[in-house]
Amino acid sequence: MRPIDKFPVGQSITFEDGNAHIIRYKYKPYQSAKDPLCINFGQYCVYCEAPITYLRDLEVEHILPKDKNLGYSHLEYDWDNFLIACSTCNGRDNKYNIVAKPDECHYPHLNNTFLSLKYCKGGVVIVNPDLKGKSKLKACKLLELIGLDKTPVTSTQQDKRWEYRMKQWNVAERYKERYENGKLNLDCLMDYIKATGCWSIWFTIFEGHDEVRRRLIEDFPGTSSVCFDANNHYSPIERNPGQEDPV
């Protein structure tokens, strides 16, 4: 899962139509935060990384559920409580009944979630087996929360995320071969990746091609560059070094 940097409240941004906007503490109704969130992270689900062709399919995602009484006020409208997700990742089947606070679950705007999860052949997602202790528990919670480990057997009829990842994994393997054979240049490769998403799959498969990894970090809005070591092939590194959970 691509780690991201969230705009702080007060930051000035520019919409595609040229209008300026300053990030606010509150967005009421919360749906009005959709445009600034898309400028922040691109038009991709922050969890499954699928691209959203039409903006109406992207939903403002509440990190802590807006309709549960958790002792917090105004969860519904707070910029700090927003991410952006597709309807499947934001849907009831996966996370409606799970409350995962940031101190017990990894999140892409707080942790290096590319270290939390591992993308394997066929687009299968597992918890990074190298994690230990609290990091491992929080990564497990993230996978449970979003359900990226759902298979054709455990998914609902509507949840085709596994299928999309499988297709993307297979395409990425073929494109890597074409790229290495000089049949595909970097700009064309990036155009394809930006149109079809699944950042983590491409970042995984193009290990060893630093120029591709660098473009993935630079070209996808909001990618947290501090999570990758530019002097060591853009390998993922700890986002919170020295803390109980360094990931």
**Quick one: 47 or 234, whose CB is closer to Zn ion?**
47
CB 37, CB 84: distance < 8 Å: yes
Count the residues of the shown chain that bind Zn ion, applying the rule CB under 5 A: 5
Q: Of these, 38, 39, 48, 60, which contacts Zn ion (CB under 5 A)?
A: 48
Q: Is 86 in the site for Zn ion (CB under 5 A)?
A: yes
Q: How many CB atoms lie within 10 A of CB 124?
A: 15
Q: Of these, 4, 23, 33, 45, which contacts Zn ion (CB under 5 A)?
A: 45
Q: Is 125 in the site for Zn ion (CB under 5 A)?
A: no
**Nearest-approach distance from CB 49 to Zn ion, in angstroms:** 7
Residues 161-200 that bind Zn ion (CB under 5 A): none
Crossing angle between the packed helical segments 186-196 and 210-219, to the nearest 10 degrees:
50
Alpha carbons 10 and 5: distance in angstroms, whole number: 15
| Residue span binding Zn ion (CB under 5 A) among the ranges 11-19, 56-64, 65-73, 78-86 | 78-86
Q: Of these, 41, 47, 162, 206, which contacts Zn ion (CB under 5 A)?
A: 47
Q: Of these, 52, 84, 89, 201, which contacts Zn ion (CB under 5 A)?
A: 89
Alpha carbons 128 and 114: distance in angstroms, whole number: 9
In the numeric block, which tokens belong to residue 142? Answer: 């993230």
Which runs of E-coded beta strand occur in the chain?
A: 12-14, 20-22, 58-62, 82-86, 117-120, 124-127, 228-229, 235-236
**Quick one: 33 or 84, whose CB is closer to Zn ion?**
84
What lies within 8 Å, CB to CB, of 107 at 6+ separation is 63, 83, 113, 142
| Residue span binding Zn ion (CB under 5 A) among the ranges 86-94, 96-104, 152-160, 193-201 | 86-94
DSSP state of 53: S
| Residue span binding Zn ion (CB under 5 A) among the ranges 5-13, 45-53, 57-65, 121-129 | 45-53
**Nearest-approach distance from CB 188 to Zn ion, in angstroms:** 26
Residues near Zn ion, by CB under 5 A: 45, 47-48, 86, 89
